[in-house]
C-alpha cells in the first residue's frame, strides 16, 4: 500500500472525535486506508445485502455486535443507522469508536449533519497526490504520463492502463451512483453531459451552454452537475470576493478531481495524443488545482481556494489566504520559463498591493527556483513547497 498523507490526520482526529468519517470518490482507497489505520476494528460493509437488511431491521442489535467499535463501509447505504449510532457513542464516550466510509456526499454527509453533528471528524480522501507517488518512487516519469494516468490507486496497484480501467469505472459510476441519486432514464445522455463537462475543465462554468449542448433543460443540468459534485467527480472553484476596485467575474470555474479521468473522457488514449492536444493546458491546470485541494483535504481542512478575474480579462489562476495575506499562483503548462509569464502576477501585485505575498508560478518543467522574487515551481516540486509553506 502506498502510504497516504491523510493517515496522520485520521489518527489525530480519532483522539478527539467518537466517530470518524472518511469520504471521497469511488476507488480512491478509503477502505484500504481505514482498515490499515484501524486494523483492530471489526470491518462491515453495508454493500452486503444481509448486513444492510440487518442494520435497517434491528439497528440497536446490529451496533451491539461491536463493543470495541467498527469500520462501517459505505455507511450511506443505511442512513437510519446514524441516529442509533449517536446514542451509542454518547453513552460510551470513547474516541475513535466508529469509522464510517462512503463515496456519496449526499448520503453520508447528510446523515452526519442531521444525527452526528459535533461528534464526527471528517477526512475527504482523493486519489493519490504527486507527493504520495513521489515518496514511493511511483511518480510517472513525464508530465504527460501523469496527466494520462492520474492518481486512482488501481492504476498503480494493478497492471492496468488508463484506457482499460476508466471505461469500467465510468460504467460502474453510472450504474450505481447515478441510478441511486437520480432517476436518469437515458444514461447515454448523462454520459454525454459528463463528457461535455470534461471539455470545460479549467474553464468558467456556463451551465446554460452545457444544457443547450446536451439537449437538456437548465434545471436538469444543475441537478446532474450536483450529482457529479456529490460523487467527487467534479468541483467548482469560486471566484475571490474582493474586487480591488475592479468589476469581477462571478461564475465559478469547473474542474475534475482526477485529471486522467477528464483526459479519458476527452478521448485521449495515449501520451502522444496528450502532448499536442488542445486541452493540454487546461488539463495541467486541473492537475495543479487538484493537488492543492488534496493537500487541504488530507489535512482535514476545507479547500478554501479561489481564482480571481476581472471583467477586463486580468486573472490569477489560483488564490488562497495565508496569515492575512493573499497567495497568488499562476499555472503554465510549458516546460520552459517565459519572461511574459510574470506579467499576470505583476498586474495582480499592482491591484492587491500590500495584501499580496510573493507570487508563485507552477509550470510544466522539472526545475524549481526563484525569479525576480517570484517562486517558479516545477510540477514535481509542487507537493514539497506546499508542505513546506503550509
What whole-number percentage of the chain has pLDDT above 70?
96
Residues of each domain in the chain carrying CATH 3.40.50.300: 6-124
Integer CA distances (angstroms), 101 to 237, 290, 372, in order: 25, 21, 46
What per-residue confidence (pLDDT) applies to 107?
65
Residues of each domain in the chain carrying CATH 1.10.10.10: 130-237+247-277
Q: How confident is the model at residue 245 (pLDDT cuts 50, 70, 90)?
A: low
Per residue, the 3-state secondary structure of 111-143, as one string, reads: HHHHHCCCCEEEEECCCCCHHHHHHCCCCCCCH
> Cell for 97?
469508536
Query: Which superfamily does CATH assign the domain made up of 6-124 to?
Result: P-loop containing nucleotide triphosphate hydrolases (3.40.50.300)
What mean pLDDT is predicted for residues 103-124? 79
Q: Which of 303, 250, 284, 278 is nearest to 380 (CA)?
A: 284
What mean pLDDT is predicted for residues 297-305? 95
| Contacts of residue 43, Cβ cutoff 8 Å, sequence gap at least 6 | 35, 70, 71, 73
Sheet strands side by side (includes 203-204) = 203-204, 253-256, 234-237
> Cell for 82?
446514524
What per-residue confidence (pLDDT) applies to 387?
66
Instruction: Check if the beta carbon of residue 96 is closer than 8 Å to that of residue 69.
Output: yes
3-state secondary structure of 283: helix
More confident residue, 3 or 249: 3
Residue with cell 437488511: 53
CATH 1.10.2020.10 fits 130-237+247-277, yes or no: no
What per-residue confidence (pLDDT) applies to 386?
67
Amino acid at each position: 500500500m502506498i502510504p497516504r498523507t491523510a493517515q496522520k490526520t485520521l489518527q489525530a482526529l480519532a483522539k478527539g472525535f467518537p466517530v470518524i468519517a472518511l469520504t471521497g470518490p469511488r476507488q480512491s482507497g478509503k477502505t484500504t486506508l481505514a482498515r490499515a489505520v484501524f486494523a483492530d476494528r471489526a470491518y462491515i460493509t453495508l454493500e452486503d445485502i444481509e448486513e444492510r437488511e440487518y442494520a435497517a431491521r434491528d439497528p440497536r442489535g446490529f451496533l451491539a455486535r461491536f463493543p470495541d467499535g467498527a469500520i462501517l463501509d459505505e455507511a450511506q447505504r443505511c442512513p437510519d443507522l446514524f441516529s442509533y449510532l449517536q446514542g451509542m457513542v454518547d453513552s460510551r464516550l470513547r474516541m475513535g469508536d466508529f469509522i464510517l466510509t462512503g463515496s456519496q456526499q449526499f448520503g453520508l454527509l447528510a446523515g452526519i449533519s442531521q444525527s452526528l453533528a459535533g461528534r464526527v471528524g471528517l477526512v475527504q480522501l482523493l486519489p493519490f497526490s504527486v507527493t504520495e507517488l513521489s515518496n514511493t518512487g511511483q511518480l510517472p516519469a513525464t508530465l504527460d504520463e501523469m496527466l494520462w494516468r492520474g492518481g486512482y490507486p488501481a492504476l498503480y496497484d494493478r497492471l492496468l492502463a488508463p484506457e482499460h480501467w476508466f471505461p469500467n469505472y465510468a460504467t460502474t459510476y453510472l450504474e450505481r451512483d447515478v441510478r441511486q441519486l437520480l432517476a436518469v432514464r437515458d444514461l447515454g445522455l448523462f454520459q454525454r453531459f459528463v463528457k461535455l463537462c470534461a471539455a470545460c475543465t479549467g474553464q468558467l462554468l456556463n451551465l446554460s451552454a452545457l444544457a443547450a449542448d446536451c439537449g437538456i433543460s437548465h434545471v436538469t443540468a444543475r441537478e446532474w452537475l450536483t450529482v457529479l459534485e456529490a460523487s467527487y467527480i467534479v468541483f467548482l472553484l469560486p471566484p475571490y470576493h474582493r474586487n480591488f476596485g475592479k468589476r469581477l467575474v462571478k461564475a465559478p470555474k469547473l474542474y475534475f478531481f482526477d485529471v486522467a479521468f477528464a483526459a479519458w473522457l476527452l478521448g485521449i488514449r495515449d501520451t502522444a495524443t496528450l502532448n499536442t492536444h488542445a486541452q493540454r493546458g487546461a488539463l495541467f491546470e486541473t492537475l495543479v488545482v487538484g493537488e492543492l485541494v488534496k493537500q487541504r483535504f488530507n489535512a482535514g481542512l476545507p479547500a478554501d481556494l479561489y481564482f480571481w478575474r476581472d471583467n477586463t480579462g486580468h486573472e490569477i489562476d489560483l488564490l488562497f489566504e495565508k496569515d492575512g495575506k493573499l497567495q497568488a499562483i499562476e499555472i503554465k503548462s510549458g516546460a520552459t520559463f517565459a519572461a511574459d509569464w510574470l506579467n499576470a502576477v505583476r498586474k495582480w501585485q499592482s491591484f492587491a498591493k500590500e495584501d499580496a505575498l510573493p507570487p508563485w508560478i507552477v509550470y510544466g518543467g522539472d526545475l524549481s527556483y526563484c525569479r525576480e522574487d517570484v517562486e517558479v515551481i516545477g510540477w514535481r516540486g509542487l507537493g514539497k513547497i506546499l508542505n513546506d509553506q503550509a
